[in-house]
Structure 1
Amino acid sequence: MSNSELMPIGPFARRTGVTPSALRFYADCGLLPPAEVDPVSGYRYYHPDQVARTVELRRLREIAMPLADAEAVLGAGPDEAVRLIDAHVARVLGDAEAVRRTAARIKAARTGEAPGPPLAALAGPVLAAAVEQVLTATAREPCLPVLGGLHVEATPEAFTLTATDRYRLATRTLVPARPAPTPWSGTIDGDELRSSVPELRRSATVLVEATAHGLRLRPTDREDGHEHLCRLLSEEFPDYRRMLAELPEPTTRATVPKNLFLGALEANPGRRISLHFAPGRGVHVHADEDEPAAVPSLDPSPTPPLASPPGSAPVRPSGPLPAVVTGRDLRITFELTTLHPAVSTAVGPDLMLDLRGPDRPVTLRSADRGDLTTLAMPVRPTT
């Protein structure tokens, strides 16, 4: 090996992003010995071939992998390395969830927080599905954290979940097995609710209780079930009910088979999808080649939903979709990322669309089940 190829520890540290002290530690534990050590000065030198291993080691340590596991990954083939990394991530996530639950209990004990009267008793699998469906309408925006939350409203008659990302809005209403004694509403952290879904799905009945700082979700039928405490967000949720109340009456209505509609959307690879609703002639779906400007969002801050997987694979039709269309002939254009989730979230085999014009929100819901409603904003029609 030529000495001219070797790098002193300082330049090697800068090239790999590992501090000199960490390089000395890795060398002392035998994980990353230098290529050469000067016998007189003790200076350590590294070869360029060691850069890739050192960078990978740094990245493994950045995900909090123990040294012994990192050494196993570095010495493994690609498939085994992937397995070891996935196993480490699963352990970290499991530990994080346990820490979150314990921290919630500590905070509740410190503040003397006790659950108030139960808001609702709900079937766990139904609540899990509703949370997943509605949370697809959330968005991660640091300036508007409320868009990452799920708004919960409990009344004696209904338990309603709502979310919006300003271009879509999803709301689903569940009928509680045990009604709330008093009305309650608040916006709950979406990530914490999302983490509760696997537990909810395994529970026949879940009791939803309000606390001073959020919601407690407690399985009532399993001794091994973990309760979840989900944090209340302080920001005010957009006034979506006013927006819904102010929507004009639809001028066009269409009932379309959901799977055929999904298949038509997926058969068009364009960024935007144009729809032509023609009474007596069905619905024509094609990619929009132009680049129309986006319409304003569904209000000062909100809008519509995302999706849960369809019950069966969508069929890719050719020609216009068979649909019952009444009212005015209408052409309207959507971003595919807005329309596809709204369609795939719908409950039931048939989808009903209430349309109000090419630049107004469209309401999408099941043709025979109205407990999940979605609004989607179109883009401006091309001129």
Structure 2
Amino acid sequence: MSTATDTRPAAALLECQTDRATLTEALSTVAVGVPRRPAVPLLGGVLLESRGGHLTLTTTDIDTVVSVRIPDAVNAPGALLVDHVELSKMLGALVKGSRKREADAMPVTLRATVDGHAVLSLGGYTMPLTAYPVEEFPTLPTVPASMAEADRETFTQQARRVLIARGADATLPIFTSVHVQAAPGALTLAATDRFRLAVAEIPATTAATEDRSVMLPAELLSSVLKHCTGDRVRLGVDAASDWAALSCGDLTVLTRTVDAEFPRYERLFPETTASARADRGALAQATVRATAALEASHYTADRDQAGHHLAVTLHPDGRVSVAPVLAEHAETVTAPEHPAEVGGVAESVRVLFGARYLRDALSSLAGDTVTLRLDSPNRPVVFTATDTPGYRHLIMPVRPTS
């Protein structure tokens, strides 16, 4: 995996102690790095190491490394490699029937024995655990220095918004990745599935004086966000741009970067000729109702969810509506109209969207109002909100069939 020197004290007999809740949470966090079907059994293990009096738990599937530190949990230094699933299940089994608060507070001790086994002590029980040779655990890459750091709450909120636009086709890595660009004073995250694009700019402290970008697996980023609990998020990339690191509090995640070139997306954002500013909640509710009408209608029964379209109509006299699209009965469909600040429109403009895409765009924004900007009904439409600074959500409209 790496040419980094392995300094693990494999021969030392580790003994560590913490409470059950802390150990359970740490195991849940590092589970992100455990392969579902390990090619070899020890890759299903979690490595426990003493580092400066603290306990570090580490898992890897070769492409990803996840580590969590538990402060002041080491009684005797050393290293131990145990089966992750077995340990996790045993922590639940030995307190079964206990109240959660009492179970979480129970002390847990893990120790290595001279014959190479592992022993767990919890709730008056002492149980052996499956252990693997520590020296066979893959040598891990060095964590690269931070290239940027940002406020954790801002980073996680904006990252979740961007992740909405990621694709699901694993054969096209470019659409299942998040583009991360560090520029002086800012981090920019972007994701797309070809039909929509979400971009968020986050204030950041950056080390470099020039732009640097990297592609990260979107599913991994989505999985680790809920485990970020520190005040700051730090991102680093090694010199060859092969490995990227995300650190937050006691969590460190290393992952191989995605070898793909993200689209130059700035050219996709239109020169605005038309715009509408309206109540976000009203449009979101209208979208939900129009989508439900599509699902209830026999005229759309033969379509899958991807074929459900909604029409957003901007009227020059200050109204906007969201209506279900029934192509063969378009003239009979009407929908409630909502007040809006409409500009750049001499006559009504009707834009078609995929129902799910419109719903996701509106839900990704915060605040009372939303603004739509476009230059034509067949060109990308950009959604923004003053209460979601630095975030833009672009959708490619559906071209009318007639």
Task: Report the TM-score, using the length of structure 2 for normalisation.
Answer: 0.59
1:274 aligned residue (311, 327, 338): 311
Q: Which residue of 2 aligns with 1:303?
A: none
Q: Which residue of 1 aligns with 2:352?
A: 333
1:195 aligned residue (209, 216, 223): 223
SS at match of 1:264: helix
2:324 aligned residue (260, 271, 287): 287
Compared CA separation, residues 232 and 112, structure 1 to 2 (3 A): closer
Q: Which residue of 1 aligns with 2:59?
A: 102
Query: Offset at 1:182?
Result: 4.0
SS at match of 2:384: strand
User: Which residue identity is paired with 1:190?
Assistant: A
What is the percent sequence identity of the aligned residues?
27
Q: Which residue of 1 aligns with 2:259?
A: 234
Compared CA separation, residues 228 and 91, structure 1 to 2 (3 A): closer
CA distance in 2, matches of 1:369, 1:136: 15
Aligned residues: 260
Question: For 1:1-383, what aligned pairs fall within 5 Å after superposition?
Answer: 96-97=31-32, 99=34, 101-103=58-60, 104=64, 110=139, 113-116=142-145, 118-178=146-206, 180-200=208-228, 202-211=229-238, 212-219=241-248, 222=249, 225-244=250-269, 247=270, 249-268=271-290, 269=292, 270=294, 271-290=308-327, 319-328=336-345, 329-367=348-386, 369-383=388-402
Greater relative contact order structure (CA < 8 Å, 6+ sep)? 1
Residues 115-165 of structure 1 show CA distances to partners (whole Å, capped at 9, x for unaligned) of: 13x221211122111221111111122331110000000011210000000
Unaligned 5+ runs, structure 2: 1-24, 36-57, 67-135, 295-307, 330-334
Compared CA separation, residues 105 and 359, structure 1 to 2 (3 A): closer
Compared CA separation, residues 124 and 209, structure 1 to 2 (3 A): same
Query: Offset at 1:370?
Result: 3.9
Unaligned 5+ runs, structure 1: 1-89, 293-317
Query: Offset at 1:178?
Result: 4.9
Q: CA RMSD in A?
A: 2.9
Compared CA separation, residues 372 and 343, structure 1 to 2 (3 A): same
Compared CA separation, residues 105 and 354, structure 1 to 2 (3 A): closer
CA distance in 2, matches of 1:382, 1:199: 46
Compared CA separation, residues 260 and 180, structure 1 to 2 (3 A): farther
Query: Offset at 1:291?
Result: 7.4
Q: Which has the higher strand share?
A: 2
User: Which residue identity is paired with 1:165?
Assistant: D
CA distance in 2, matches of 1:125, 1:157: 17
SS at match of 2:278: strand
Compared CA separation, residues 94 and 198, structure 1 to 2 (3 A): closer
Task: Report the TM-score, using the length of structure 1 for normalisation.
Answer: 0.62
Residues 324-346 of structure 1 show CA distances to partners (whole Å, capped at 9, x for unaligned) of: 01112311111101211111112
Question: Contact 1:334/1:379 (CA < 8 Å) preserved in 2?
Answer: yes
Query: Offset at 1:112?
Result: 5.4
Compared CA separation, residues 363 and 182, structure 1 to 2 (3 A): same
User: Which residue identity is paired with 1:205?
Assistant: R
Q: Structure 1: which 4+ aligned runs deviate by more than 3 Å?
A: 90-96, 98-101, 104-114, 177-182, 367-370
CA distance in 2, matches of 1:149, 1:251: 32
Residues 84-113 of structure 1 show CA distances to partners (whole Å, capped at 9, x for unaligned) of: xxxxxx999767425375324599984754
Query: Offset at 1:372?
Result: 0.5
User: Which residue identity is paired with 1:283?
Assistant: V
User: Which residue identity is paired with 2:390?
Assistant: D
Compared CA separation, residues 291 and 332, structure 1 to 2 (3 A): farther
User: Which residue identity is paired with 1:361?
Assistant: P
Question: Contact 1:359/1:378 (CA < 8 Å) preserved in 2?
Answer: yes
CA distance in 2, matches of 1:214, 1:326: 47
Query: Offset at 1:233?
Result: 0.3
CA distance in 2, matches of 1:343, 1:182: 34
Question: Contact 2:365/2:388 (CA < 8 Å) preserved in 1?
Answer: no
Question: Contact 1:281/1:320 (CA < 8 Å) preserved in 2?
Answer: no
CA distance in 2, matches of 1:178, 1:291: 55
CA distance in 2, matches of 1:91, 1:159: 28
Compared CA separation, residues 108 and 236, structure 1 to 2 (3 A): farther
Compared CA separation, residues 242 and 99, structure 1 to 2 (3 A): same
